[in-house]
Amino acid sequence: MENQNNFSQPPMTPAPEIKQEAELPDKPKSKILLKITALAIATLSVVGIITFLIYKNSQTKPLAGNIPTANNASINPTETQTSSTSTRPQEPIQPAEKKLLSDQKLNQLPPVAQDISNASVFIQTIQKPGKPGAFNFMAEPAIAAENSLSRVIVYEKGPRPRDIYWYDMEYATEKKLTANGKDNFYPALNKDGYLVYFTNAGQTGGNYSRDIIQANLLDVNQKDKEKELAKGEQLFWYPFISPSGKLVAIIDGFNSVTVAKIPGGSSKKYTVTSPGSSNSGMGAISWSKDENKIIFQLMGTSVGGKYNMSIAELDLNSEKVSMVVDTPTDEVVPQYIDNGRISYLENKETLDQTSFHKTFTVLQTSTGEKQQFQLDQGVRQTYLWSPDYKYVYFLTKEGYISMLRIETGEYWIANNTNQFSGFVGWNAYPESILMSKFNSSATFPCYDIYSGYNISNKQPLFKAFDTCPK
Protein backbone atom coordinates (compact mmCIF):
# COMPACT_ATOMS: atom_id res chain seq x y z
CA MET A 1 0.00 0.00 0.00
CA GLU A 2 1.31 3.42 -0.84
CA ASN A 3 2.41 5.38 2.22
CA GLN A 4 0.21 8.46 2.62
CA ASN A 5 2.58 10.17 5.04
CA ASN A 6 5.58 10.67 2.74
CA PHE A 7 6.53 13.83 4.61
CA SER A 8 7.48 11.74 7.62
CA GLN A 9 9.30 8.87 5.87
CA PRO A 10 12.83 8.75 4.34
CA PRO A 11 13.02 8.09 0.58
CA MET A 12 13.14 4.45 -0.36
CA THR A 13 16.10 4.91 -2.84
CA PRO A 14 19.47 5.13 -1.08
CA ALA A 15 21.53 8.25 -1.62
CA PRO A 16 24.45 7.83 -4.10
CA GLU A 17 27.92 7.54 -2.68
CA ILE A 18 30.04 10.62 -3.40
CA LYS A 19 33.78 10.73 -2.97
CA GLN A 20 35.37 14.14 -2.69
CA GLU A 21 38.34 15.66 -0.92
CA ALA A 22 35.98 17.42 1.49
CA GLU A 23 33.67 14.66 2.62
CA LEU A 24 30.05 15.38 3.39
CA PRO A 25 28.62 14.64 6.86
CA ASP A 26 27.85 11.05 7.67
CA LYS A 27 24.06 11.59 7.47
CA PRO A 28 22.49 11.99 4.06
CA LYS A 29 20.55 15.15 3.15
CA SER A 30 17.29 13.22 3.19
CA LYS A 31 17.78 12.35 6.84
CA ILE A 32 18.53 15.97 7.65
CA LEU A 33 15.31 16.99 5.93
CA LEU A 34 13.48 14.27 7.84
CA LYS A 35 14.73 15.60 11.14
CA ILE A 36 13.78 19.15 10.25
CA THR A 37 10.30 17.97 9.19
CA ALA A 38 9.79 15.99 12.41
CA LEU A 39 10.86 18.99 14.47
CA ALA A 40 8.38 21.20 12.63
CA ILE A 41 5.58 18.70 13.22
CA ALA A 42 6.42 18.50 16.92
CA THR A 43 6.45 22.29 17.16
CA LEU A 44 3.05 22.52 15.49
CA SER A 45 1.69 19.87 17.87
CA VAL A 46 2.88 21.80 20.92
CA VAL A 47 1.36 25.01 19.54
CA GLY A 48 -1.91 23.16 18.96
CA ILE A 49 -2.01 21.82 22.51
CA ILE A 50 -1.26 25.24 23.98
CA THR A 51 -3.99 26.79 21.82
CA PHE A 52 -6.51 24.16 23.00
CA LEU A 53 -5.60 24.73 26.67
CA ILE A 54 -5.99 28.48 26.28
CA TYR A 55 -9.40 27.98 24.69
CA LYS A 56 -10.51 25.55 27.39
CA ASN A 57 -9.32 27.88 30.13
CA SER A 58 -11.29 30.70 28.59
CA GLN A 59 -14.44 28.63 29.05
CA THR A 60 -13.85 28.25 32.82
CA LYS A 61 -15.42 30.95 34.97
CA PRO A 62 -15.31 31.67 38.72
CA LEU A 63 -18.09 30.36 40.96
CA ALA A 64 -20.46 33.20 40.31
CA GLY A 65 -19.51 33.70 36.70
CA ASN A 66 -20.06 30.35 34.98
CA ILE A 67 -23.62 31.42 34.30
CA PRO A 68 -25.24 32.89 31.20
CA THR A 69 -26.93 36.19 31.91
CA ALA A 70 -30.72 36.08 31.87
CA ASN A 71 -32.19 37.27 28.61
CA ASN A 72 -32.88 41.00 28.60
CA ALA A 73 -31.72 41.38 32.21
CA SER A 74 -31.74 45.02 33.23
CA ILE A 75 -31.13 47.32 36.15
CA ASN A 76 -32.78 50.58 37.04
CA PRO A 77 -30.72 52.02 39.91
CA THR A 78 -31.51 55.32 41.59
CA GLU A 79 -28.97 58.04 42.19
CA THR A 80 -27.28 55.85 44.81
CA GLN A 81 -26.09 53.28 42.26
CA THR A 82 -24.12 53.23 39.02
CA SER A 83 -25.49 51.13 36.18
CA SER A 84 -23.42 48.21 34.94
CA THR A 85 -23.37 46.59 31.52
CA SER A 86 -21.25 43.59 32.50
CA THR A 87 -22.91 40.31 31.64
CA ARG A 88 -21.83 38.41 34.74
CA PRO A 89 -20.04 38.87 38.07
CA GLN A 90 -16.27 38.70 37.91
CA GLU A 91 -15.54 37.29 41.35
CA PRO A 92 -16.56 34.19 43.30
CA ILE A 93 -19.46 34.47 45.71
CA GLN A 94 -17.79 32.35 48.36
CA PRO A 95 -14.87 29.93 48.45
CA ALA A 96 -15.80 26.38 47.52
CA GLU A 97 -14.90 24.87 50.88
CA LYS A 98 -15.73 21.28 51.79
CA LYS A 99 -15.90 22.23 55.45
CA LEU A 100 -18.82 22.86 57.76
CA LEU A 101 -19.42 26.39 58.98
CA SER A 102 -18.63 27.21 62.60
CA ASP A 103 -21.23 27.92 65.28
CA GLN A 104 -20.76 31.63 64.88
CA LYS A 105 -21.16 31.60 61.11
CA LEU A 106 -24.16 29.28 61.28
CA ASN A 107 -25.94 31.71 63.59
CA GLN A 108 -25.16 34.63 61.28
CA LEU A 109 -26.67 33.11 58.14
CA PRO A 110 -29.51 35.32 56.86
CA PRO A 111 -33.04 33.92 57.15
CA VAL A 112 -35.36 33.48 54.20
CA ALA A 113 -37.75 36.34 53.46
CA GLN A 114 -40.93 34.65 52.30
CA ASP A 115 -44.69 34.73 52.27
CA ILE A 116 -46.97 32.10 53.74
CA SER A 117 -46.93 29.76 50.75
CA ASN A 118 -43.93 27.82 52.04
CA ALA A 119 -44.54 28.27 55.76
CA SER A 120 -44.64 24.59 56.66
CA VAL A 121 -40.91 23.98 56.02
CA PHE A 122 -38.24 25.65 58.17
CA ILE A 123 -34.53 25.15 58.68
CA GLN A 124 -32.84 25.87 61.98
CA THR A 125 -29.51 25.59 63.71
CA ILE A 126 -30.12 23.68 66.93
CA GLN A 127 -27.86 23.19 69.94
CA LYS A 128 -27.18 19.50 70.49
CA PRO A 129 -25.32 17.80 73.35
CA GLY A 130 -21.95 16.26 72.60
CA LYS A 131 -19.75 16.54 69.56
CA PRO A 132 -21.17 15.82 66.12
CA GLY A 133 -19.87 13.01 63.98
CA ALA A 134 -18.68 13.29 60.41
CA PHE A 135 -21.11 15.18 58.23
CA ASN A 136 -21.87 13.07 55.15
CA PHE A 137 -25.10 14.70 54.06
CA MET A 138 -23.67 16.38 51.00
CA ALA A 139 -22.40 14.66 47.88
CA GLU A 140 -18.85 14.68 49.24
CA PRO A 141 -17.81 14.05 52.87
CA ALA A 142 -16.77 17.07 54.88
CA ILE A 143 -14.85 17.80 58.03
CA ALA A 144 -17.27 18.20 60.93
CA ALA A 145 -17.30 21.60 62.60
CA GLU A 146 -15.75 21.79 66.05
CA ASN A 147 -19.06 22.54 67.74
CA SER A 148 -22.26 21.02 69.05
CA LEU A 149 -24.64 22.61 66.56
CA SER A 150 -26.55 20.78 63.88
CA ARG A 151 -28.81 21.81 61.03
CA VAL A 152 -32.32 20.41 61.21
CA ILE A 153 -35.43 21.02 59.16
CA VAL A 154 -38.82 21.13 60.89
CA TYR A 155 -42.03 20.55 58.98
CA GLU A 156 -45.58 19.33 59.23
CA LYS A 157 -46.57 15.96 57.83
CA GLY A 158 -50.05 14.76 56.95
CA PRO A 159 -52.58 13.43 56.51
CA ARG A 160 -54.75 15.20 59.08
CA PRO A 161 -54.41 15.28 61.97
CA ARG A 162 -50.90 16.46 61.08
CA ASP A 163 -47.85 16.14 63.28
CA ILE A 164 -44.57 18.04 63.42
CA TYR A 165 -41.32 16.29 62.46
CA TRP A 166 -37.70 17.20 62.08
CA TYR A 167 -35.05 15.89 59.76
CA ASP A 168 -31.54 15.81 61.21
CA MET A 169 -29.16 16.46 58.31
CA GLU A 170 -26.11 15.39 60.27
CA TYR A 171 -27.37 11.85 60.75
CA ALA A 172 -29.98 11.80 57.95
CA THR A 173 -32.74 10.73 60.36
CA GLU A 174 -36.33 11.83 60.87
CA LYS A 175 -37.97 12.31 64.28
CA LYS A 176 -41.60 12.88 65.23
CA LEU A 177 -41.92 15.79 67.67
CA THR A 178 -45.67 15.95 68.47
CA ALA A 179 -48.08 13.24 69.55
CA ASN A 180 -51.10 15.05 70.97
CA GLY A 181 -53.69 13.62 68.57
CA LYS A 182 -54.51 17.12 67.25
CA ASP A 183 -53.90 18.81 63.95
CA ASN A 184 -50.49 20.53 64.25
CA PHE A 185 -48.93 22.85 61.67
CA TYR A 186 -46.65 25.86 60.96
CA PRO A 187 -43.61 24.88 63.07
CA ALA A 188 -40.61 27.01 63.96
CA LEU A 189 -37.65 25.94 66.10
CA ASN A 190 -35.05 27.89 68.07
CA LYS A 191 -31.44 26.83 68.56
CA ASP A 192 -32.06 25.52 72.09
CA GLY A 193 -34.66 23.02 70.92
CA TYR A 194 -37.87 24.89 71.70
CA LEU A 195 -40.57 24.33 69.11
CA VAL A 196 -43.37 26.82 68.44
CA TYR A 197 -46.26 25.53 66.36
CA PHE A 198 -49.99 25.93 65.81
CA THR A 199 -52.70 23.47 66.80
CA ASN A 200 -56.36 23.31 65.83
CA ALA A 201 -58.01 23.63 69.25
CA GLY A 202 -61.67 23.28 68.23
CA GLN A 203 -64.51 25.31 66.73
CA THR A 204 -66.31 28.47 67.77
CA GLY A 205 -69.74 26.93 67.13
CA GLY A 206 -72.86 28.66 65.80
CA ASN A 207 -73.94 29.23 62.20
CA TYR A 208 -70.56 30.58 61.16
CA SER A 209 -68.27 28.26 63.04
CA ARG A 210 -64.56 29.00 62.76
CA ASP A 211 -61.42 27.22 63.83
CA ILE A 212 -59.81 28.14 67.13
CA ILE A 213 -56.05 28.12 66.71
CA GLN A 214 -53.62 27.74 69.58
CA ALA A 215 -49.89 28.52 69.51
CA ASN A 216 -47.88 26.09 71.61
CA LEU A 217 -44.33 25.96 72.96
CA LEU A 218 -42.72 22.52 73.24
CA ASP A 219 -39.26 21.56 74.46
CA VAL A 220 -38.12 18.83 72.07
CA ASN A 221 -35.54 17.75 74.66
CA GLN A 222 -38.51 16.99 76.95
CA LYS A 223 -37.26 19.06 79.85
CA ASP A 224 -40.42 21.18 80.05
CA LYS A 225 -44.08 20.49 79.43
CA GLU A 226 -46.00 21.97 76.50
CA LYS A 227 -47.11 25.58 77.07
CA GLU A 228 -49.82 27.71 75.46
CA LEU A 229 -48.54 31.01 74.03
CA ALA A 230 -51.60 32.45 72.30
CA LYS A 231 -55.08 31.41 71.27
CA GLY A 232 -57.69 32.84 68.92
CA GLU A 233 -59.82 32.50 65.83
CA GLN A 234 -57.27 34.09 63.54
CA LEU A 235 -53.68 33.07 63.97
CA PHE A 236 -52.11 34.16 60.70
CA TRP A 237 -48.90 33.32 58.93
CA TYR A 238 -46.50 31.39 61.19
CA PRO A 239 -44.35 31.95 64.30
CA PHE A 240 -41.48 34.40 63.76
CA ILE A 241 -38.60 33.55 66.12
CA SER A 242 -36.11 36.32 66.94
CA PRO A 243 -32.39 36.06 66.03
CA SER A 244 -31.38 35.01 69.56
CA GLY A 245 -34.21 32.50 69.77
CA LYS A 246 -35.43 34.07 73.02
CA LEU A 247 -38.57 35.73 71.60
CA VAL A 248 -41.30 34.75 69.17
CA ALA A 249 -43.83 36.99 67.41
CA ILE A 250 -47.24 35.50 66.62
CA ILE A 251 -49.83 37.34 64.55
CA ASP A 252 -52.90 36.44 66.58
CA GLY A 253 -55.50 38.62 64.91
CA PHE A 254 -55.88 40.74 61.83
CA ASN A 255 -54.26 43.75 63.51
CA SER A 256 -52.50 42.43 66.61
CA VAL A 257 -49.33 40.54 67.43
CA THR A 258 -48.28 38.66 70.56
CA VAL A 259 -44.59 38.63 71.50
CA ALA A 260 -43.75 35.77 73.88
CA LYS A 261 -40.57 34.85 75.73
CA ILE A 262 -38.83 31.52 75.19
CA PRO A 263 -38.80 29.36 77.25
CA GLY A 264 -40.76 31.22 79.93
CA GLY A 265 -43.89 31.72 77.86
CA SER A 266 -44.86 35.11 79.32
CA SER A 267 -46.22 37.36 76.59
CA LYS A 268 -47.43 40.81 75.62
CA LYS A 269 -50.00 41.71 72.99
CA TYR A 270 -49.60 44.71 70.65
CA THR A 271 -52.32 46.31 68.55
CA VAL A 272 -51.10 47.35 65.13
CA THR A 273 -52.86 49.83 62.86
CA SER A 274 -51.78 52.23 60.17
CA PRO A 275 -51.21 55.80 61.39
CA GLY A 276 -53.93 56.87 58.94
CA SER A 277 -56.42 54.06 59.38
CA SER A 278 -57.97 51.74 61.95
CA ASN A 279 -58.67 49.09 59.30
CA SER A 280 -55.29 47.48 58.71
CA GLY A 281 -53.50 44.23 59.45
CA MET A 282 -50.15 42.50 59.60
CA GLY A 283 -48.25 40.31 57.21
CA ALA A 284 -44.69 38.96 57.02
CA ILE A 285 -42.48 39.94 59.97
CA SER A 286 -38.72 40.51 60.28
CA TRP A 287 -36.86 41.07 63.56
CA SER A 288 -34.26 43.79 64.03
CA LYS A 289 -30.81 42.62 65.14
CA ASP A 290 -31.26 44.11 68.63
CA GLU A 291 -34.77 42.59 68.89
CA ASN A 292 -36.31 45.91 69.96
CA LYS A 293 -38.29 46.37 66.73
CA ILE A 294 -40.11 44.34 64.15
CA ILE A 295 -40.76 45.39 60.59
CA PHE A 296 -43.79 43.97 58.85
CA GLN A 297 -46.06 44.00 55.85
CA LEU A 298 -49.00 46.31 56.63
CA MET A 299 -52.19 45.27 54.91
CA GLY A 300 -55.15 47.61 54.70
CA THR A 301 -56.25 51.15 53.95
CA SER A 302 -53.19 53.36 53.75
CA VAL A 303 -52.65 57.09 53.43
CA GLY A 304 -54.63 58.20 50.42
CA GLY A 305 -57.47 55.79 51.03
CA LYS A 306 -56.18 53.01 48.75
CA TYR A 307 -56.16 49.41 49.93
CA ASN A 308 -52.64 48.16 49.41
CA MET A 309 -49.68 46.60 51.18
CA SER A 310 -47.12 48.89 52.77
CA ILE A 311 -44.23 48.47 55.21
CA ALA A 312 -44.39 49.60 58.83
CA GLU A 313 -42.26 49.22 61.95
CA LEU A 314 -43.34 48.42 65.52
CA ASP A 315 -41.17 49.65 68.39
CA LEU A 316 -41.67 47.05 71.12
CA ASN A 317 -40.54 49.46 73.86
CA SER A 318 -42.67 52.49 72.97
CA GLU A 319 -45.41 50.36 71.31
CA LYS A 320 -45.58 52.91 68.49
CA VAL A 321 -46.13 52.05 64.86
CA SER A 322 -44.40 54.13 62.20
CA MET A 323 -44.78 53.95 58.44
CA VAL A 324 -41.57 53.05 56.60
CA VAL A 325 -42.74 52.74 52.99
CA ASP A 326 -46.17 53.64 51.67
CA THR A 327 -46.71 54.08 47.94
CA PRO A 328 -49.64 53.41 45.58
CA THR A 329 -48.08 50.03 44.73
CA ASP A 330 -47.69 47.00 46.99
CA GLU A 331 -44.48 46.53 48.99
CA VAL A 332 -44.12 43.01 50.36
CA VAL A 333 -41.80 40.64 52.25
CA PRO A 334 -39.71 43.25 54.10
CA GLN A 335 -36.48 42.22 55.80
CA TYR A 336 -33.89 43.91 57.98
CA ILE A 337 -30.44 43.39 56.53
CA ASP A 338 -27.49 45.43 57.86
CA ASN A 339 -26.30 48.98 58.64
CA GLY A 340 -29.79 50.43 58.91
CA ARG A 341 -30.95 48.97 55.62
CA ILE A 342 -34.10 47.03 54.77
CA SER A 343 -35.10 45.21 51.60
CA TYR A 344 -38.44 44.38 50.01
CA LEU A 345 -40.19 43.46 46.76
CA GLU A 346 -42.55 45.73 44.83
CA ASN A 347 -44.01 46.38 41.37
CA LYS A 348 -46.48 43.49 41.47
CA GLU A 349 -48.17 41.72 38.62
CA THR A 350 -50.69 38.91 38.90
CA LEU A 351 -50.73 35.84 36.70
CA ASP A 352 -53.25 33.03 37.26
CA GLN A 353 -54.02 34.41 40.75
CA THR A 354 -50.33 34.29 41.68
CA SER A 355 -48.36 37.45 42.46
CA PHE A 356 -44.94 38.15 40.99
CA HIS A 357 -42.75 41.19 41.54
CA LYS A 358 -40.46 42.96 39.09
CA THR A 359 -38.58 45.34 41.40
CA PHE A 360 -36.29 44.63 44.34
CA THR A 361 -35.52 47.60 46.60
CA VAL A 362 -32.86 48.22 49.24
CA LEU A 363 -33.73 51.20 51.45
CA GLN A 364 -31.41 53.09 53.81
CA THR A 365 -33.95 54.01 56.48
CA SER A 366 -31.94 56.86 58.01
CA THR A 367 -31.63 58.82 54.74
CA GLY A 368 -34.41 57.47 52.57
CA GLU A 369 -31.94 56.61 49.78
CA LYS A 370 -32.94 53.65 47.63
CA GLN A 371 -31.34 51.15 45.32
CA GLN A 372 -33.92 49.69 42.95
CA PHE A 373 -33.26 46.71 40.70
CA GLN A 374 -35.48 45.57 37.86
CA LEU A 375 -36.04 41.81 37.79
CA ASP A 376 -37.12 40.88 34.29
CA GLN A 377 -40.19 38.66 34.00
CA GLY A 378 -40.81 38.94 37.75
CA VAL A 379 -39.97 36.77 40.76
CA ARG A 380 -41.97 34.98 43.44
CA GLN A 381 -42.60 36.41 46.91
CA THR A 382 -39.44 35.03 48.47
CA TYR A 383 -35.73 35.76 48.44
CA LEU A 384 -32.53 34.93 50.33
CA TRP A 385 -29.51 37.16 50.99
CA SER A 386 -25.99 35.77 50.79
CA PRO A 387 -24.12 35.77 54.13
CA ASP A 388 -22.05 38.80 53.08
CA TYR A 389 -25.11 40.70 51.78
CA LYS A 390 -23.52 41.12 48.35
CA TYR A 391 -25.90 38.84 46.47
CA VAL A 392 -29.62 38.02 46.57
CA TYR A 393 -31.20 34.77 45.42
CA PHE A 394 -34.71 34.73 43.90
CA LEU A 395 -37.10 32.29 42.28
CA THR A 396 -38.36 33.15 38.82
CA LYS A 397 -41.91 32.54 37.65
CA GLU A 398 -40.77 29.17 36.34
CA GLY A 399 -39.14 28.24 39.66
CA TYR A 400 -35.54 28.70 38.50
CA ILE A 401 -32.95 30.16 40.88
CA SER A 402 -31.83 33.63 39.81
CA MET A 403 -29.24 35.92 41.38
CA LEU A 404 -28.67 39.65 41.76
CA ARG A 405 -25.29 41.21 42.47
CA ILE A 406 -25.99 44.34 44.54
CA GLU A 407 -22.74 46.15 43.76
CA THR A 408 -23.22 46.18 39.99
CA GLY A 409 -26.88 45.30 39.48
CA GLU A 410 -26.13 42.24 37.37
CA TYR A 411 -29.05 39.79 37.34
CA TRP A 412 -28.95 36.32 35.82
CA ILE A 413 -30.32 32.78 35.98
CA ALA A 414 -28.01 30.92 38.35
CA ASN A 415 -29.55 27.47 38.12
CA ASN A 416 -32.25 26.06 35.87
CA THR A 417 -31.71 22.36 36.58
CA ASN A 418 -35.05 22.11 38.38
CA GLN A 419 -38.20 24.10 39.13
CA PHE A 420 -38.62 24.85 42.84
CA SER A 421 -41.37 26.15 45.09
CA GLY A 422 -39.31 28.06 47.64
CA PHE A 423 -36.14 28.53 49.64
CA VAL A 424 -35.79 26.56 52.87
CA GLY A 425 -32.54 28.23 53.94
CA TRP A 426 -28.78 28.04 54.02
CA ASN A 427 -27.24 24.64 54.68
CA ALA A 428 -24.10 24.04 56.74
CA TYR A 429 -21.70 24.53 53.81
CA PRO A 430 -20.64 27.79 52.16
CA GLU A 431 -22.95 28.54 49.26
CA SER A 432 -25.04 25.47 50.02
CA ILE A 433 -28.78 26.11 49.79
CA LEU A 434 -31.76 23.94 50.67
CA MET A 435 -34.76 24.22 48.37
CA SER A 436 -38.30 22.86 48.45
CA LYS A 437 -40.38 21.56 45.59
CA PHE A 438 -44.08 20.86 45.89
CA ASN A 439 -44.80 17.17 45.37
CA SER A 440 -47.88 17.07 43.14
CA SER A 441 -48.09 13.27 43.06
CA ALA A 442 -48.46 12.72 46.82
CA THR A 443 -51.77 11.91 48.47
CA PHE A 444 -51.43 14.91 50.83
CA PRO A 445 -49.74 18.29 50.22
CA CYS A 446 -46.01 17.95 50.92
CA TYR A 447 -42.56 18.93 49.67
CA ASP A 448 -39.43 17.33 48.29
CA ILE A 449 -36.32 18.90 49.86
CA TYR A 450 -33.29 19.42 47.63
CA SER A 451 -29.76 20.36 48.53
CA GLY A 452 -27.59 22.44 46.23
CA TYR A 453 -23.86 23.03 46.67
CA ASN A 454 -22.20 25.72 44.57
CA ILE A 455 -25.40 26.31 42.60
CA SER A 456 -23.95 29.37 40.90
CA ASN A 457 -21.93 26.96 38.77
CA LYS A 458 -25.12 25.19 37.70
CA GLN A 459 -24.35 22.15 39.79
CA PRO A 460 -27.47 19.92 39.81
CA LEU A 461 -29.36 19.91 43.09
CA PHE A 462 -30.12 16.48 44.51
CA LYS A 463 -33.12 15.33 46.50
CA ALA A 464 -32.28 14.80 50.18
CA PHE A 465 -35.67 13.70 51.55
CA ASP A 466 -39.37 14.58 51.45
CA THR A 467 -42.08 15.59 53.90
CA CYS A 468 -44.74 13.34 52.36
CA PRO A 469 -46.79 10.77 54.28
CA LYS A 470 -45.55 7.22 53.89
**What's the pLDDT score for residue 265?**
84
The pTM score is: 0.78
SS3 156: strand
Ordered DSSP codes for 285-354: EEE-TTSSEEEEEEEEE-TTS-EEEEEEEEETTT--EEEEE--SS--EEEEE-STTEEEEEEEEEEETTE
Nearest-CA neighbor of 216 among 234, 236, 194, 233? 194
Please give the biggest Cα pair distance in the chain: 130
Q: What is the mean pLDDT of each run of 10 residues along the chain (470 residues)?
A: 37 38 44 56 57 46 32 38 41 54 86 79 82 47 62 93 91 91 93 93 80 92 84 81 95 86 92 66 90 90 66 95 88 93 94 90 96 94 94 95 95 92 88 91 94 77 92
Phi, psi of 456 (to 5 degrees): -70, -10
Distance CA 179, CA 182 (A): 8
**What's the pLDDT score for residue 431?**
77
Terminal alpha carbon distance of the chain: 71
Distance CA 309, CA 348 (A): 11
Give Cα 215 to chain centroid, integer Å: 27
Distance CA 176, CA 161 (A): 13
Ordered DSSP codes for 365-427: TTT--EEEEEEEEEEEEEEEE-TTSSEEEEEETTS-EEEEETTT--EEEEE-SS--SEEEEE-
* Distant-in-sequence, close-in-space partners of 152: CB < 8 Å, separation ≥ 6: 123, 124, 126, 166, 167, 168, 169, 189
Cα–Cα distances in angstroms (integers) from residue 420 to residues 73, 344, 350, 356, 427, in the given order: 21, 21, 19, 15, 16
Distance CA 74, CA 460 (A): 26
Distance CA 158, CA 445 (A): 8
* Distant-in-sequence, close-in-space partners of 283: CB < 8 Å, separation ≥ 6: 115, 236, 237, 296, 297, 298, 299, 309, 332
Q: What are the helix and strand counts (H, E) for the chain?
A: 2, 28
Phi, psi of 462 (to 5 degrees): -120, 150
**What's the pLDDT score for residue 453?**
80
**What's the pLDDT score for residue 294?**
96
**What's the pLDDT score for residue 281?**
76
Cα–Cα distances in angstroms (integers) from residue 465 to residues 328, 352, 451, in the given order: 43, 30, 9
Distance CA 339, CA 321 (A): 21
**What's the pLDDT score for residue 16?**
37
At position 241, the amino acid (one-letter code) is I
**What's the pLDDT score for residue 73?**
36
